[in-house]
Amino acid sequence: MSKSRFFAPQNFVVGDPVELDTEQSRHAIKSRRLKAGDSVELLNGEGQIAIAELAPQSSRSLAVFTVQEVTAEKPVEFDLTIAVAVPKGDRQKVLLDMLTQLGVSRIVPLNCDFSATRANDKLVAKWRRLVIESCKQSGRVWFPEIGLPANAVDYAIRMSNQGLQLLIADPKGESWQEYYGPRQSTTKVVCFVGPEGGFSETEVRAIVSLEAKRVSIAPHILRIETAAVAIASLLLTA
């Protein structure tokens, strides 16, 4: 049986105590009903995994663990950012869970001309909570970054100025089968996925003018989360 996993954003050192925050402590003590001496996995979101035991000084509201063992993983070499319009409701959880499992490095919520749901600071906080839960479930040790809300064109300009390869998911673009993929020449890619109504012509012209490649993954309109997950999967396994 796999160990319960918890998030603790700190550097792990064998023998050191680790205190979980209120939400994580509640989950450990009340939901998981852990007792002193029980062993768990701790993730810090930056590549470290610690095996730790619940310490006797823990209380009903504060879980304290003692680190027993620490291992670390290197980050993946291919850095993929999915800059994506915000889906409605529970579809956001599906989007974030799947992109996290696939290994996307960064997810940036976009505000587009045809966006039905707008990105704001409250949404960013929600998305960060969701990716933490997904990482705990999947055991991913490098957590994806959730970027600040951005205007699609403004973000494309910033990424282009940094020399990154840009892709835009577009039914009118060249088919994926004809596209050889950017992994042969670069390790950092930003892919733009618009709302169901698509990017506006103004947005497409502006992003394409930055030498973004238009790539089609289906001949028809896809839901936001379907398009984002499909293109992330293709890029990460190319």
What are the pLDDT digits (tens) for 194-211? Answer: 998 899 999 999 999 999
Average pLDDT of the chain?
Answer: 92
Predicted pLDDT of residue 177: 65
Predicted pLDDT of residue 220: 83
Q: Domains in the chain, start-ordered, CATH in brackets?
A: 5-72 (2.40.240.20), 79-236 (3.40.1280.10)
pLDDT at 182 over 60: no
Confidence of residue 178 (pLDDT cuts 50, 70, 90): low
Contacts of 175 (CB under 8 A, 6+ apart): 216
- pLDDT > 70 fraction of the chain, expressed in percent and rounded: 95
Q: What's this model's pTM, rounded to 2 decimal places?
A: 0.91
